[in-house]
Structure 1
Amino acid sequence: MTCILLFCATSLATQNQRIPTTKKFREAPKFYNAPHCPRILDDDTTSNKENICLSSSDKIVHVAMTLDSAYIRGSLAAILSVLQHTSCPQNVFFHFVASASASSSLLRTTIAGSFPYLNFRIYPFRDSAMAGLISTSIRSALDCPLNYARSYLADLLPQCVHRVVYLDSDLVLVDDIAKLAATPLGGDKVLAAPEYCTANFTSYFTPTFWSNPSLSVTFANRKACYFNTGVMVIDLNRWRAGDYTRKIEEWMDLQKRMRIYELGSLPPFLLVFAGKIAPVDHRWNQHGLGGDNFRGLCRDLHPGPVSLLHWSGKGKPWARLDANRPCPLDALWAPYDLLKPPFSFDS
């Protein structure tokens, strides 16, 4: 089964911002397949590195990530964590989604500099087309167009890609990503994600929404629970057949007119999918490590095992480490940081 894992930066600086020239990144070690892995992507030619629709693509774990200058450091750490903890790293294919206004050559050079052996492709995202759909939210960083790329995967990715796992870039994995990629979706589910039914679901929508019977009926006969859209397994064939991108856009258009929610790109996903998703174990999204969206205070892990650490929220581990004000769990992100020290003699 073909699977793509998409990492997306949860917030961006300006779309035209460049990768700071003062920041340089180390080359990561190369990781090799275990003996049981099939040999698929062992050709170093450019044509093979960018060939998505291989005849043996069902044996490939496709990984994708949104790229921007503000989050490139987190993206590189996420890539390293994926490769380090999977049994078949040479069979991983990365797909990067970047703003059409960004310098794809600069992003390509940065990725190839740290991972010269990586199989990847960069896709331009027409973020200017999102301007008329995005409403202001409680944190300006959540309003950046690239945050909404997850809603357009079925349009961006080739038709030969039948399944996608979307992941944010402010995270690291400490388990084999192939396990998450193999999550069963059942006979009719479009996506799977860890659900959190103890969260106050009503708080994600405004009184305007709940007081309008024609809107609040959306969740009738649905056991609607909060889920974090930074970790999702998506069946793209079912998504395309159901035209779910357009359904999400309809809610975004209504939001522009009625203000039915406050929090960026998450609520439209809840409106369309909450109560209709396949379960994923909570170990695959230990989220909220960045604190809330206002103060970014330190948080502890949720009870239970851990396969993925996710710094969703305002605080990011690289920023807190640079400011010498890290949270305790930021030490778990630090080993994946490829940023060179400022006075490194390694060119």
Structure 2
Amino acid sequence: MTVEPFADFPESAEFEDPAVARERMVVNEMERMQIREEARRRIAAESSTVSELPALSNLADRLAAPRTRPRWRIQDMWPAGGRINLVGAPKAGKTTMTTNVVRALVDGGQFLGKYTTEAVPDCEGPAVVVFDFEMTEDMLLDWYEDAGITNTHKVETVLLNGLGSGFDFTNPAVRAELVNRYGGAHTYILDPVGPLLASLGLDENSNSDVQRLLTAWDEFVRELGGQESMVTMHAGHNGERARGASAFLGSCSAVWTLMREGEEPGAPRFLKTMGRIEGMPKTRLAVQGRTLTILGHLTPEKIADAKGEQILDYLATVCEWQGRDRIRSKVGGSQPTVTQALRELVDSEQVLHDNKKGYGLPHWSS
């Protein structure tokens, strides 16, 4: 059966064969899909920038040429010219880390009290632009005022909470307007990416949607004239990787992951890094006001020791036998860490284990 698209068919269903009606709808839908695909192709062709692509470059010549740009923006953590993805567990200090990064970028000095930072060079625009999709103006000003930034005149902030649909840099026409408005800075920070994805109707669990946005972000930063960027995102339920698609963990210079063990206000905070850098194992952070500093690398054994101290404090407070899951819900931490800590406490006879009662302190058995 051959049916022409958008053909004239009898309007009344009683005069139309069901098979013909179905075929008509299928063909019309195919026609609409083909039109949409052709529209996408034409838009992509119009926005292509082949003329801006780099020419061939001889490797021997490039190796012989002097390198004027520093290798690192932040020593061992942020390669110059790269993009960082910052993943933060709830209340682990994502905003604090972001303000600490901004301070290091414009003031230089020691990031986290340890890593030498090459302050971004002067340029035609601000040194750093922060696109913030989460905070109100008063909240943002409070955080940055407390951050102790000296060169605040080098930082520009753009408050986009509730305005994500107008910030669609995946759309060539919109991107051109955004470049005209915000171009000229050295480093751009998108904080955080989740609300923007939602505003644009993209699924954070879809690798294709996430990769499309991050690729468009890199192109956008390049057109803005930016040299480096950071994208922040919320962690998933386990607090140790980005929420949603695995594409968040790729296509960047490094992933920094902020973790928190426990729900209480003073719960320990940790940072680990991975990617096209040497990487840093899970490391304890000290929190002093709005400043984060490195305390030291924690091996699994040291982490278990620290968790053991929390378990002892908790058991002393409740004064009754507790199951492992109950303990973990109160002190936080991963199941392997809590299990190892309990095992070491039992082996050292600091805690008793009863198959029926659970875990308790030695004097409870007397």
TM value normalised by structure 1:
0.31
Structure having the higher strand fraction is 2
Between Structure 1 and Structure 2, whose CA radius of gyration is higher?
2
Considering Cα pairs closer than 8 Å and 6+ residues apart, tell me whether 1 or 2 has the greater RCO. Answer: 1
TM value normalised by structure 2:
0.30
